[in-house]
Structure 1
Amino acid sequence: MYKPYDRSQLQNVINLIVGCNNSESYQVGFVGDGYEEVRETLLYDFSDLPLEESIYTYEEDDVFTCFAFDISTRDKYVEVWGPFLDKHIGLDKVYNLWVYAMEHLHPLKLNYNFFIGAHNQLAINFLEDYVKADRIRQHDNLEFKISNRSFSNIRLPNNVQVIKVETLSQNYYTALVNLHHRYFPGTYYSIDDILERINRENNLYLLIKNHQLAGYAYLEKSTTDKHVSLEYIAIDGAFQGQGLSKLLFASIVKETEQDEFSHIQLCVDENNQRALNLYESLGFFLASSYIHYKL
């Protein structure tokens, strides 16, 4: 039976997502692979629409699958959680579920984005052969172990500050907007979005040199599984080549280490060799790869 989500299905949805994302062959990117992490996201940080309008399910006997749509109504942007597939369900039934969901969501005129594990061949076949989604690029998911002590002795020079933002000074707002747009055009969060999201877990850092904005970083912490997602980090071109990215990252590592987080993760385009070289020099390693599709 195809139907919208109801609250009685929460555990089935979480178990499906966690089960798939703990197997390389069925992974869907940026969703999470721990029960509490997925549950917290779905209940408290998922979609502008209620879950009953954001998740669509198929259930028959012992077979269960779903699509979950993390919807930004303002930007018309959707990150699709799915397809969640295994050997027990055929692609035809999953496609019928997709069509069913689109009948409900089509009036919103949304832009759909999928992030599929590079080894998830079933989902790749589904998106390319059934949905006819456009393959955009491959992203590498990198990780840094916070137990790495390589930054413990780094100190900031007198003319450099790293500021953890609570309320952004107007002096830096325009420069930050321009820097963010220059390095991440068309991205999922604008600076205004980031400023609205700042709280105990979501932190914005400014790197100031000689009273000028030289760079910034924005991260989101998961207290359930003790990891940090580094969503954005950039150094203004006028300040590059001065070791400032290392100073900024060292400040982040020291704070997250104090809060007993285990690792920092980030995503980068596999063709961005300059960024990959930078992150490798900071101590990141390749954890997984995801393919971005768009519809």
Structure 2
Amino acid sequence: MKELAGKCTGCCKDLYCRDGFFEGEIDEGTAFCFPCSNQLRSDFTEEEIGLFIARLNKNPAQHTGYCGTEEMEVTDTLLNDFSDLSFKNSFAVLKEDGKIIAALGADWDMEAASGELWGPFSLKDGEEWQEDAGRLWRFLKHKINHNGTWHGFYNEQNQQAINWISLQGAVHKSKEVILRVIPEEIKPGKQMEVEEFTAPYTEKFKSLHTSAFPAGYFSSDEILRRQNNHNRLFVVQENQRLAGYVYVEASPAHGEGSIEFITVNPNFRGQGVGEALLKRAAAFLFQEMNVKEISICVNAGNEAAIHLYKKVGFSEKHRLSFYKL
């Protein structure tokens, strides 16, 4: 006797009970067919995922936002700075002959109840890519098992991922531009005194940061706490007022630096403050931290900022679409 018992959470195929025997497995109250159950329990390491993502993320048609393109960098992030949940519960993979053929992860933030999606990545194309993505998505939601929001940054050439996340009901929030510069591309320009942040600037900095970035991913207090030998905050003061600041982070082990936040007080714009801050940030990152490349991300609609960055020597590397689900 054969009776329909439900559907597999992974592949959505029908599951049956045959002569009283359930042709599937139950994982934490959720039903899976045997093949999906085996995939769900696949073993994998940070090193395996790091190699797989780095290889695919070099291709603009597979590129996902901020995952990285170098194996060592991606693996280091997965080992040391990824997700508030366990690594195994923050990634879902598909394997064939013991090798990863598709992966999807989420850098889950428990406090914010949100996850930044890493992927989907798959060696397949077209409908098969979408099938893998759907299966991984259902696996990942089952593993994370927390309510919240999801977001992803996808290269504009990664149409497979953009189509996939749109089908999940995600809303397109913005377009971002990633610009990068190497030491020899920095152009000479206007000089201005730029100081390292000190405690007397605290309240002025907090006020300017909150005004410029009311929904920034780091609050002013978080930036102040993150300061160390590699992460620095620089300011320009004019007439006892804070004219602007730049906050940078360096990863010397990976040869990379980033300008996380930069803003100029509206009363001091057009006076070379932004250019001076960028030059000081570049000098710190290139000369003191010995990084090989600096990146900065800006909203695609902020043409004035993009013009400034290009004036200093930055060039456009990627355009990303930001989606929220």
Relative to 1, partners in 2 of residues 1:2 and 1:184: Cα closer, same or farther, differing over 3 Å?
farther
Deviations 1:125-156 (A, max 9, x none): 21122x221111211111122223523x7543
Supply the RMSD in Å over aligned alpha carbons: 2.2
Task: Write the mapping of 1:58-137 to structure 2, written as runs, cut at 5 A.
Answer: 58-61=94-97, 62-87=99-124, 89-107=128-146, 109-129=147-167, 131-137=168-174
Q: Secondary structure at the match of 2:152?
A: strand
Q: Which residue matches 1:282? A: 312
**Is it true that 1:176 corresponds to 2:205 in the alignment?**
yes
Q: Which residue matches 1:49? A: 85
Q: Which has the larger radius of gyration?
A: 2
Which is bigger in relative contact order (C-alpha 8 A, separation at least 6)? 1
**Is it true that 1:162 corresponds to 2:195 in the alignment?**
yes
CA contact (8 A) 1:135 1:292 kept: yes
CA contact (8 A) 1:5 1:53 kept: no
CA contact (8 A) 2:186 2:313 kept: no
Q: Distance in 2 between matches of 1:24 and 1:86?
A: 14
Task: Write the mapping of 1:140-155 to structure 2, written as runs, cut at 5 A.
Answer: 140-151=177-188, 155=191
Task: Write the mapping of 1:116-265 to structure 2, written as runs, cut at 5 A.
Answer: 116-129=154-167, 131-151=168-188, 155-156=191-192, 160-163=193-196, 165=197, 169=199, 171-258=200-287, 259-265=289-295
CA contact (8 A) 1:227 1:262 kept: yes
CA contact (8 A) 1:58 1:97 kept: yes
Q: Give every structure 1 segment of 4 or more consecutive aligned residues whose post-TM-superposition deviation is greater than 6 Å.
A: none
Give the counterpart of 1:35 among 71, 81, 84: 71
Q: Distance in 2 between matches of 1:55 and 1:293?
A: 19
Q: Which is further off, 63-72 or 228-237?
A: 63-72
Deviations 1:7-48 (A, max 9, x none): x42222111110111112111111110111111111112222
Compute the TM-score of the two structures, normalised by the length of structure 2. Answer: 0.80
Q: Distance in 2 between matches of 1:241 and 1:68?
A: 43
Q: Distance in 2 between matches of 1:241 and 1:250?
A: 16
Number of residue pairs matched by the alignment:
284
Give aligned-pair identity as a percent.
Answer: 27
Q: Distance in 2 between matches of 1:46 and 1:250?
A: 31
Compute the TM-score of the two structures, normalised by the length of structure 1. Answer: 0.87
Which segments of 5 or more consecutive residues in structure 1 lack a partner in the other structure? Answer: none
Q: Which is further off, 117-126 or 185-194?
A: 185-194
Q: Distance in 2 between matches of 1:200 and 1:70?
A: 25
